[in-house]
Chains A and B, each alone.
Chain A
Amino acid sequence: MRSAAQKWLHGLSNTKPDELDVKELLSCYDIATPAGLRLGPNDSVAIRNMQPPYVVKVCSGDILHKTDQGGVRLNVQPDRLENTITEMRAKFPGVSVLVEEHVHVSGSELIVGGLVDQEFGTAVMVGAGGILTELYQDVTFRLAPCSAEEARRMLNELQIAPLFSGYRGLNLDADLLAKTVAAISRMVIDLGDVFSQLDINPLGWVNNKWMALDAKLVLNSKV
């Protein structure tokens, strides 16, 4: 039987999925994402069923570092939405824009990722996320796929492990996070040989579930 990832790959128009494509893939693996809508360069701005404020992001598989390039606007109120989209389109002509609900994360941001190690094969990572993730370097790896029990042991190894045992009154569900990491490890394996690198950063605790707020997936162009 074809995996959800293979079906998703089949429906992909090129080897550079944009953020919404990746989030659709994550949804297939029961990983929550904010409500969002992709607007093509010429689409009119018609937002329904989404709670303000919004996040407006440039949405292209060719732009991997959108924050660095000014391609992300947070906390956009409804009265500023149209202007913000217009500005974004001016900055990135001919590129789609993603409008999402701006959600509130409880506690700190995490990163979950995947890569292919030359020696051991496909691996999954979890750790302290956000824009400072590479400064903290508080991450740990396992080979994929890994079980939820193994993922739970990964969380214990992190410096931020106390976050999962009531630190400062936080109530982050470590078992659910472990299941999420295990699901992602399954997903990167299901992608097969085309898989190269994955960043879900940040992953946050939003309304009692773990949600992928941003996601980036690099596929091999030739397999």
Chain B
Amino acid sequence: MDRSASRMPTRSDSDWGEWPLAKLFRPRAIAVVGATSKPGKVGRIVFDLLRRTERPVYPVHPTQKTLLGHDVIPRVEDLPEGVDVAVITVNAGQAVQAATDCGHKGIPFIIVVAGGFSEVGAEGRILEDKLRAVVATTGSRILGPNSLGIFVPRERIDTIFVEHGDRALAGGGGVAFITQSGSVGTEGLGVASNIGFGLRAFVGLGNKVDLNELDFLRYFGDDDRTNCIMLYMENFSDGRAFLEIAGQVSRKKPVVVLKAGRTAAGAAAASSHTGRLAGSDRVVSGAFRQFCIQRVFDEEQLCDAARVLAGAPLPRGPRVAVISSGGGYGVMAADYIESRRQRTRLQMAHLSPDTEAKLRAIVPGFASVANPVDLTASATDEMTGDTLRIVTADDGVDAVICVALFAPPGISDALVAHTAAVAADVDKPIVVVGQFGPFTDGLLRRFYDNGVIGYPCVARAVRAVRTLVERAEFVHTMEGTP
């Protein structure tokens, strides 16, 4: 069931659109119910985080007088008008009353952070029914409970009370991340942000008493600033509706899903080969492909896929060229590229004689100018950049993996600029493999900041190219079907 569908008008071109959900991501003012001066308390952390945003943030607490220089408002009903989001940071038992108060106050969006609801048993389920009643009687929409809320770098809105890559993500970007698990969401994002990750918005779904993945999928699907949507899901509110909507959204932008929690119950009862073969959730994989949704299996893959889909152009085909200054990396990359164990297949590109002749003119005599191109330890920043330019210009090449090793004496930090200059000029994906000991993350971050997507190992770089090729195949399929 999805009530939001009928309520939502079509969006306008304004910054966050005119859908009701826009108010959640761009509220006029925010209230933090349960804001307290006690260090370490969720109410304190959330209020402190929200103070960074350029809009009024009101602390609400029955006994506290001031908090971090702000006057505390004793009751929800005493809040001024214009509060579009209330973050409820009190425990489950108190949260129901707080949500009720916010509903009666007419606050359109209520985020319930507390756990202790249906995930702990029958009593919690009763509390959730009461939250649903708030939605039904007041029209306010609830995100959660058991939700980390939202993080919107562009608006400097952040309700995530646990550690996460907040500063590294502050630059913002085009990826909307909808997650049913707070920890998988924040941990994955934290790691990804170390090497550069452009976040449009983070949404922790929690227990989904009201707002669910369908609402946010639709919203970000229509949001012009979102260029990729990634989801971590354990169960769908309506599996078929999810596929239909994600399939529609996929016509506009990539949708990547980590679906965890395999349904083994059905397999055990199966009396057919088909039932037993489906047991390990092959139906999910097939259905996703049918609706052009990209599937991943862990948080690293999820973040890796979103980074490259949001940051690199799509290849026109599966032919990959590899450039390295270390022959072994080229051979390894070729092995991964030619692996037939994947549904989406890549090929090693055949470089044209013209390309090979041009390369021969700029590389050392003993270098290999066939794919994988090996510049050897004589590689320089300039030689690498020129090689990239020549190889990307070859009509037989759809994507390039460039292994950026820093061991050769002729390679310096300027390699980043040389690579970025080519990437900015061509409409083929260039994916970098960057390794620099303990400085690897910083190196990849510099590539990212200069518009080049990189990974710390060959396997992940090849996988990223595969992700792009899969997306390109989906786009091709969708163009052929109305």
Taking beta carbons and an 8 Å cutoff, which residues of A are in contact with B?
64, 111, 113-115, 117-121, 123, 125, 127, 133-134, 137, 139-143, 146, 149-150, 153-154, 157, 159, 197-199, 201, 216, 218
Given A142-B290, A149-B481: A111 in contact with B274 (beta carbons within 8 A): yes
Q: Which of B123-131, B278-286, B355-363, B447-455 contacts A (4 or more CB under 8 A)?
A: B278-286
Q: Per-residue 0/1 for B96-140: is the Cβ within 8 Å of any A Cβ (1 yes, 0 no)? A: 000000000000000000000000000000000000000000000
Beyond A111-B274, A137-B277, A141-B285: 19 further Cβ-contacts under 8 Å? Answer: A113-B272, A113-B275, A114-B274, A115-B272, A115-B278, A118-B266, A120-B240, A120-B284, A125-B277, A139-B277, A140-B282, A143-B283, A143-B287, A143-B290, A153-B477, A157-B343, A198-B272, A198-B274, A201-B273
**Cβ contacts A to B, 29 pairs, < 8 Å:** A113-B273, A113-B275, A115-B270, A115-B272, A115-B275, A115-B283, A117-B239, A117-B263, A117-B283, A118-B265, A119-B236, A119-B284, A120-B243, A120-B287, A121-B239, A127-B277, A133-B273, A134-B273, A134-B276, A139-B282, A141-B282, A141-B286, A142-B290, A143-B287, A143-B290, A154-B286, A198-B274, A199-B274, A216-B272
Contact of A120 among B271, B272, B283, B481 (CB under 8 A): B283
Q: Is the CB of B239 within 8 A of A120?
A: yes
Query: Which chain A residues border B235 with CB–CB below 8 Å?
Result: 119
Separation in Å of the A121 CB from the closest CB of chain B?
Answer: 6
Separation in Å of the B217 CB from the closest CB of chain A?
Answer: 16
Query: Which chain A residues border B266 with CB–CB below 8 Å?
Result: 115, 117-118
Q: Is the CB of B273 within 8 A of A141?
A: no
Asked if B289 CB lies within 8 Å of chain A CBs, one says yes
Contact of A153 among B263, B272, B289 (CB under 8 A): B289
Give the size range of B's interface with the partner. Answer: 20 to 34
At the interface, is chain B mostly helix, strand, loop or mixed? helix
CA distance A141 to B281 in the complex (A): 10
Q: Is the CB of A133 within 8 A of B283?
A: no
Separation in Å of the A195 CB from the closest CB of chain B?
Answer: 12
Contact of A197 among B272, B283, B285 (CB under 8 A): B272
Chain B: which residue is nearest A217 at the CB level?
A: B272
Given A146-B290, A197-B270: A119 in contact with B263 (beta carbons within 8 A): yes
Contact of B278 among A64, A125, A150, A153 (CB under 8 A): A125
Contact of A64 among B243, B271, B290 (CB under 8 A): B271
CA distance A199 to B276 in the complex (A): 11
Query: Which chain B residues border A199 with CB–CB below 8 Å?
Result: 272-274
Query: Which chain A residues border B277 with CB–CB below 8 Å?
Result: 113, 125, 127, 133-134, 137, 139
Given A120-B283, A121-B239: A113 in contact with B290 (beta carbons within 8 A): no
Chain B: which residue is nearest A158 at the CB level?
A: B343
| Total number of residue pairs linking A and B with CB closer than 8 Å | 102
Separation in Å of the A66 CB from the closest CB of chain B?
Answer: 13
Contact of A123 among B263, B270, B278, B289 (CB under 8 A): B278
Query: Which chain A residues border B272 with CB–CB below 8 Å?
Result: 64, 113, 115, 197-199, 216, 218
Query: Which chain A residues border B278 with CB–CB below 8 Å?
Result: 115, 117, 123, 125, 141
Chain A: which residue is nearest B265 at the CB level?
A: A118
Given A119-B263, A123-B287: A111 in contact with B271 (beta carbons within 8 A): no
Separation in Å of the B383 CB from the closest CB of chain A?
Answer: 40
CA distance A154 to B270 in the complex (A): 23
Query: Which chain B residues border A218 with CB–CB below 8 Å?
Result: 271-272
Separation in Å of the B476 CB from the closest CB of chain A?
Answer: 11
Q: Is the CB of B239 within 8 A of A140?
A: no
Instruction: Give the most central of A125, A142, A146, A198: most B CB within 10 Å.
Output: A125
CA distance A60 to B240 in the complex (A): 35
Q: Per-residue 0/1 for B320-331: is the Cβ within 8 Å of any A Cβ (1 yes, 0 no)? A: 000000000000
CA distance A157 to B295 in the complex (A): 15
Q: Per-residue 0/1 for B468-482: is the Cβ within 8 Å of any A Cβ (1 yes, 0 no)? A: 000000000100110
Contact of A140 among B243, B286, B481 (CB under 8 A): B286
Chain A: which residue is nearest B267 at the CB level?
A: A115
Separation in Å of the A169 CB from the closest CB of chain B?
Answer: 21
Chain A: which residue is nearest B473 at the CB level?
A: A153
CA distance A118 to B481 in the complex (A): 28
Given A139-B277, A197-B274: A119 in contact with B477 (beta carbons within 8 A): no
CA distance A139 to B275 in the complex (A): 12
Contact of B274 among A113, A120, A157, A159 (CB under 8 A): A113
CA distance A201 to B283 in the complex (A): 19
Separation in Å of the A153 CB from the closest CB of chain B?
Answer: 7
Given A123-B287, A139-B282, A141-B278: A118 in contact with B273 (beta carbons within 8 A): no
